[in-house]
Amino acid sequence: MDNMADAPNIPEHIAVIMDGNGRWAQKHGVPRAKGHEQGGQTVQRVIDLCREHGVKWLTLYAFSTENWGRSKLEVTALMRMLVKYLYERLPEMMEKNVRLHAIGELYMLPKNAQEALRDVMEKTRGNTGLNTVLALSYGSRQEITAAARALAQDVRDGKLEPADITPELLSSRLYTAGMPDPDLLIRTSGEMRISNYLLWQISYSEIHVTDTLWPDFDRADFDAALTDYAARNRRYGKR
Ligand code: IPE
Ligand code: IPE
Ligand code: MG
């Protein structure tokens, strides 16, 4: 690119609903856990694509509050994979200047997963490249409820007047405090729903849904999402 005016319109923050691991496994006649494993490979691919395109924030829906309702077998496999992934990928995160964050009811996670997260977040704290946010045991309604409860407590303690509760103040009490709102939301596997993901934060995000299953999501799918995004006219209600 010769000058900034020619630069394509790249989202600063991409949020992803990584869906379709189970369908991928079914399609290939392998256990669901294998689909999740393959999905883990896609995470690495998408991190590299974001770095390549200068995206600053990537928020990945890895495990929802509602996903606790899946079979013990599947939940255990997912938690094991999380710990394995974090430790295996740490050297690469350091090498690639990736900083890891996590949002969600993290205290619900097994102790070893909490430890691994704390450890990797601490070690990558000084990295200044791509910010990767894992949404784990995450539910948007739960997040907003917790923020409302914290604000109510402040009011009861006499630290806050109800009239001083603004959208900005509420934002600052969410897990995502200090992070920019997503510009682009991608959902794989074709489902046209949000599934309790970042309800507050995606108020003005552009939405791109692809039929591609998450384990198959590749460079061409990523480019298609960026092309789609670049053609959008974001009006924020104005004319
Ligand atoms: C998404 O894949 C990963 C998680 C929810 C952990 P799914 O496991 O939901 O895959 P499908 O929707 O059954 O295909
Ligand atoms: C959303 O996918 C959660 C994650 C991708 C982690 P689900 O597969 O759990 O959502 P539903 O059941 O299709 O709404
Ligand atoms: Mg699913």
Q: What is the pLDDT of residues 164-181, one digit of tens each?
A: 999 999 999 999 999 999
Q: Indicate whether 185 pLDDT > 70.
A: yes
pLDDT tier at 3 (50, 70, 90 boundaries)? very low
Which of 3, 6, 19, 112 is catalytic? The answer is 19
Q: Indicate whether 4 pLDDT > 90.
A: no
String of DSSP letters for 95-119: HTT-EEEEES-GGGS-HHHHHHHHH
Q: How far is the CA of 16 from the centre of ligand 3 (A)?
A: 13
From the CB of 135, is ligand 2 less than 6 Å away?
no
pLDDT at 211: 98
Cα(90)–Cα(96) distance, rounded to whole angstroms? Answer: 10
Express each pLDDT in 118-145 by its tens digit: 999 999 999 999 999 999 999 999 999 9
pLDDT at 83: 98
What stretch of H or E contains 187? strand 184-187
Q: Indicate whether 32 pLDDT > 80.
A: yes
Q: Indicate whether 2 pLDDT > 80.
A: no
In sequence order, what are the residues at sequence separation of 6 or more whose Cβ sits closer than 8 angstroms to the Cβ of residue 37? 81
Q: How far is CA 62 from the centre of its chain?
A: 7
Does 196 qualify as catalytic in the annotation?
no
| Predicted TM-score (pTM) of this structure | 0.96
**How buried is residue 137: exposed, middle or buried, by Cβ count under 10 Å (0-12/13-18/19+)?**
buried
pLDDT tier at 6 (50, 70, 90 boundaries)? low
Q: How far is the CA of 213 from the centre of ligand 3 (A)?
A: 10
Q: Mean pLDDT across the stretch 74-98?
A: 98
Give the 3-state secondary structure of residue 131. Answer: strand
Does 127 qualify as catalytic in the annotation?
no
